Amino acid sequence: MLANLAAASEPDKPQSATIGDVGEAGRRGGEVPRDPFDPLYWQVTALAPARTERPLPAGIAPPPTLAKPDARGAGTVASREAESKPGEAKPEGRESAVRAEDAAANGQRPAGPDMAAAQAALKAEIAKIFPPTAAGTPGPHVEVQGTPEGLLINVTDDLNFSMFAVGSAEPRPEMVRAMERLAKALAARPGRIVVRGHTDNRPFRSEVYDNWRLSTARAHMAAYMLTRAGIDQARIWRVEGAADRTPRNAADPKAPENRRIEILLQGSPG
Parse the chain into domains and list their residue ranges: 2-44, 113-266
Nearest Cα neighbor of 196 from 243, 240, 152, 244 is 240
What's the pLDDT score for residue 33? 56
Q: What is the pLDDT of residues 68-120, one digit of tens each?
A: 545 444 444 444 444 444 444 444 444 444 444 444 444 444 455 677 888 88
Residue 190 vs residue 8, higher pLDDT = 190
Q: What is the pLDDT of residues 249-259, one digit of tens each?
A: 999 999 999 99
Could you tell me where the beta strands, DSSP code E, fall in 85-199? Answer: 141-147, 150-156, 192-198
Residue 23 vs residue 189, higher pLDDT = 189
Q: How confident is the model at residue 28 (pLDDT cuts 50, 70, 90)?
A: very low
Does residue 161 have a pLDDT over 80? yes
What's the pLDDT score for residue 159? 83
* Superfamily of domain 113-266, CATH level 4: OmpA-like domain (3.30.1330.60)
Task: Give percent of the chain with pLDDT exceeding 70.
Answer: 55
Residue 123 vs residue 250, higher pLDDT = 250
What is the arithmetic mean of pLDDT over 43-52? 49
What's the pLDDT score for residue 58? 65
CB crowding 99-130: b at 16 or more within 10 Å, else e: ebebeeeeebbebeeebeebbebbbebbeeeb
Q: Which residues 6+ apart lie within 8 Å of 64 measured at CB?
A: none
What's the pLDDT score for residue 220? 97
Global pTM reads 0.58
Residue 244 vs residue 51, higher pLDDT = 244
